[in-house]
Chain A
Amino acid sequence: MAGKKTVIELRDVRKTYQIGEVSLEVLKGVNIKIDQGDFAVIIGPSGSGKSTLMNQVGILDVPTSGAIFLEGKDISKMEESQLAQLRGRKIGFIFQQFNLIPTLTALENVTLPTIFQNVSEEKRVQKAKDLLAKVGLADRMHHKPTELSGGQQQRVAIARALVNDPDIILADEPTGNLDSTSGQQVMDLLATLHGQGGKTIILITHDIELVRYAKKIIYLKDGEVVKVKHNGVEK
């Protein structure tokens, strides 16, 4: 893997939650490296700490101990404001529940991340329109989420995730709330973004079916990485 840039690295990351008197250690020293252009799937059963891990990888939360490097920068000590800006620029989120803002149209939802990055109005509207066209929703751009099907909402979410040209797409159970056809559409879209777009994709799921899209498969159990597979070669 020489010459490839590491975009995200987790070094001995631990995360402990305090629930009253009880301490719950959810992540028990996780080491992960994701390189540029990877399509990584993090897979594990319920309670394996997937969501917590996603929060760490997506720099939505900081570890209790250990370090996280985003493009070489140690983010584990950063302030929320800095994290937010970095998040907005570098990472595009796709959620299981789509998480679109219900009072905004598809177009407005897609432009939202650019507002937080202070991009000019002209630029952002054009970009958003292009992306919506790319995901096949050009004719729905003025519709609100309530007027869109699940599959369509998730595609809007994908366009939104791409609008700031992030290096990393982080998808948390993206097909969890979709029927198999829409789910297929979404996965194909992600595959295209990876193949043609050169994006780094990190997908978190419990669905073993999705493993076939990945180049790197990270198996998580009880807060620890138990196995890492590369293109069929076990490590």
Chain B
Amino acid sequence: MIKDYFIIPWREIKRRRLRSWLTLIGVFIGIAAIVSLITLGQGLENAIEGQFQALGKDKLFISPKGGTFAGIGSSVVMTEDDLEVIKRTAGVKRATGLAYASSGYEFNEVVRFNFVSGISTEPDERALAGEAQTWKIAQGRNLEKGDRFKVILGYEYTQDTLFEKAVELGDTILINGREFKVIGFLEKIGSPPDDQSGLIPLDTFGEVFNREDEVGYIIVQTQPGDDPAVVAAEVNEELRKSRNLDEGEEDFTIQTPEQFAEAFGVVLDVIQIVLIGIAAISLFVGGIGIMNTMYTSVLQRTKEIGIMKALGAKNSQILYLFLIESGLYGLGGGLIGVILGIGFALLVELAFVVFLGPAFLSVEIDLLLVAGTLFFSFLIGCLSGLAPARSASKQKPVDSLRYE
């Protein structure tokens, strides 16, 4: 029986084409914004999750406190001694130290500034670093023990975008003014800073940047079966003691991939909530638009309401008719909004992949979100139309019939 009450509203919506579209636009803009924001937010979280999953849960990252990243800008210094202490800690399977610096790269008489990483040439330490940083050799060979002024360059260097000429194996490139021979290239990672980095031996790094024995960043792999959190606490103890610091005075931080992901997740959630809040306001305005359209509809159909009452329609039946009409506006706006919102999110994902690489965004169509949104928009429609519908239902048949 309820479906019988859909014909009249549906015909009415079709009759007033322009007005219906304008009303729908008011709704679907808000819905599209909300749907795309939620989907993109989820997509970002998925991508980050994926990255950290690949990293594995058995890794710890130790860096000096302060500064931006890997100790850059911090006054705290970690050294090879700290690395030794960590290696000896119970629960640590492997550990390796890396050093980072920002440096000029000169080739073909063009200078570019990018990151340089100093890494260990010990095979299993090198492997650990590679695992953690997703470095894979695409061309040439890896750094070996005994290498000094040799460099492995990121994927971007094989293109001509950086120096107007592609770099090839065997070429010489100046890093921080010193000559390095290119012995290998990495596979594309998908993020520009990574694809524009260079890897050199740690010892050479110390020489070139005047930071002998320094490490900016230590990666630890915990023993299989051990709880990384427990091992992290152990490492914290040992390192603190060896650096002669009191409890609570640690000048270094130990992080697990989970913590990274969590911290990122929190920031993302806050941003999402704010943006969704703004979109919700626009949705509220869309609801007001429906209310306005419905009041106009009720007024224009005053005579029709009178006729229907003469034909035996109860007040409640008139109410349903108009409530369904406004609900349909909500639902229609919701449907269009969902399609546009998801479409937009997919487009953004495409742009990300094309310009930045696949690492950053992994959009997923959440059916629960779609269903929830459709239901919610129908509800908003009904709520917005409630006052006008009540006004319609309360009209006196005699007055309505007389209306021209």
Contact (A88, B311) CB under 8 Å given A103-B12, A103-B15? yes
The reply to whether A81 and B316 contact each other, CB–CB distance below 8 Å, is yes
- From A55, A80, A85, A115, B4 is in contact (CB under 8 Å) with A115
Chain A nearest CB from B201 CB (Å) reads: 81
**In whole angstroms, how far apart are the Cα atoms of A55 and B397 in the complex?**
9
Q: For A115, what are the chain B residues with a Cβ–Cβ distance below 8 Å?
A: 1, 4-5
Q: Known contacts A113-B312, A116-B314; can you find 15 more A-B pairs with CB under 8 A? A: A81-B316, A84-B312, A87-B309, A87-B310, A88-B311, A93-B310, A99-B307, A101-B304, A101-B307, A101-B308, A112-B308, A117-B312, A121-B4, A160-B311, A164-B312
Give complex CA distance A61, B12 in Å: 28
**B315 within 8 A of partner (CB):** yes
The answer to the question of B74 belonging to the interface, with a C-beta cut-off of 8 Å to chain A, is no
Give the interface SS of chain B, mostly helix, strand, loop or mixed. Answer: helix
- Chain B residues with CB under 8 A of A112: 308, 311
Task: Tell yes or no: B396 within 8 A of A by CB.
Answer: yes
- A89 contacts partner chain B, Cβ-Cβ < 8 Å: yes
Task: Given A60-B401, A101-B304, answer yes or no on A88-B7 (Cβ-Cβ < 8 Å).
Answer: no
B398 within 8 A of A: yes
A116 and B397: CB pair below 8 A?
A: no
State whether the Cβ of A58 lies closer than 8 Å to any Cβ in chain B.
Answer: yes
Q: Are B313 and A84 interface neighbours, CB within 8 A?
A: yes
B310 lies within 8 A of A60 (CB): yes
Set of chain B residues within 8 Å of A104, measured between Cβ atoms: 7-8, 11
A sample of 26 inter-chain contacts (CB < 8 A) reads: A55-B398, A60-B310, A80-B314, A81-B315, A84-B309, A84-B312, A84-B313, A84-B314, A87-B310, A87-B311, A87-B312, A89-B312, A93-B311, A95-B307, A99-B307, A101-B8, A103-B8, A103-B15, A104-B7, A104-B8, A116-B312, A116-B313, A116-B314, A117-B312, A121-B4, A164-B312
- Determine how close the nearest CB of chain B comes to the CB of A170; give it in whole angstroms: 9
Q: Which of B139-198 contact A (CB under 8 A)?
A: none
Instruction: Check B240 for interface membership: any CB of A closer than 8 A.
Output: no
Closest to A61 in B: B398
A residues near B (Cβ < 8 Å) are 55, 58, 60-61, 80-81, 84-85, 87-89, 93, 95, 99, 101, 103-104, 108, 112-113, 115-118, 121, 160, 164
Closest to A55 in B: B398
Chain B residues close to A by CB (< 8 Å): 1, 4-5, 7-8, 11-12, 14-15, 303-304, 307-317, 396-398, 401
Q: Do residues B11 and A113 form an inter-chain contact, with CB atoms below 8 A? A: no
Residue of A nearest to B393 (CB): A80
> CB within 8 A of A113: which of B14, B15, B311?
B311
**Which residue in chain A gives the minimum CB-CB distance to B14?**
A103
Is A88 a contact partner of B312 (Cβ separation < 8 A)?
yes
- A80 touching B315, Cβ below 8 Å: yes
Contacts of B15 in A (CB 8 A): 103
Nearest chain B CB to A4 CB, angstrom units = 26
Q: How far is the CB of B361 from chain A (nearest CB, A)?
A: 46
Cβ–Cβ contact A60 & B397, under 8 A: yes
Q: Within 8 Å CB of A99, what residues of B?
A: 303, 307, 310, 401
Complex Cα–Cα for A61 and B309 (A)? 11
CA distance A116 to B396 in the complex (A): 17
Q: Which residues of A contact B8 (CB under 8 A)?
A: 101, 103-104
Which residues in A have their C-beta under 8 angstroms from that of B11?
103-104
* A143 CA / B203 CA spacing, docked (Å): 91
Interchain nearest-CB distance for A144 vs B (Å): 10
What residues of chain A lie closer than 8 Å to B313, measured between beta carbons? 84, 88, 116
Give the most central of B303, B309, B316: most A CB within 10 Å: B309
Scoring A60, A61, A108, A113 by chain B CB atoms within 10 A of each residue's CB, the highest score goes to A60
